[in-house]
Amino acid sequence: MPNTIKRDRMNFRISSDAKEKIEEAATLLGTSLTGFAVQTLVERADKVIERHNRVVLSDRDRDRFLSLLQEDTPNEALQEAARTHDEIIEE
């Protein structure tokens, strides 16, 4: 984690058991409790955000999506969306 000026705070309460476990893990890694907590929270946040932003399609859905991209003629719904887009952009 880069050394940046830290101005924000987070305060929360945890059980004694949880605190002991976190302190033990921080000690095993040779880091402070705060450093361990921040690093762990940021890593978990990154995973949650990455998972949220990823689109996973089934094989069937992927095949359907790719076949639609290869169609020569757009369907009526797509043509209507394009017309609506053009009207909004012209305004």
What are the DSSP calls for the chain, one per residue? ---------------HHHHHHHHHHHHHHT--HHHHHHHHHHHHHHHHHHHHH-----HHHHHHHHHHHH-SS--HHHHHHHHHHHHHHH-
Domain that holds residue 66: 16-90
Examine residue 75 and state whether it is found in any structural domain, yes or no: yes
pLDDT in tens, 2-47: 678 888 999 999 999 999 999 999 999 999 999 999 999 999 999 9
Examine residue 42 and state whether it is found in any structural domain, yes or no: yes
Examine residue 4 and state whether it is found in any structural domain, yes or no: no
Q: How far apart are the first and last CA of the chain?
A: 47
Confidence of residue 1 (pLDDT cuts 50, 70, 90): low
pLDDT value for 2? 61
Examine residue 3 and state whether it is found in any structural domain, yes or no: no
Number of domains observed in the structure of the chain: 1
pLDDT in tens, 40-81: 999 999 999 999 888 888 999 999 989 888 888 888 998 999
Examine residue 79 and state whether it is found in any structural domain, yes or no: yes
- Retrieve residue 44's tokens: 């978990």
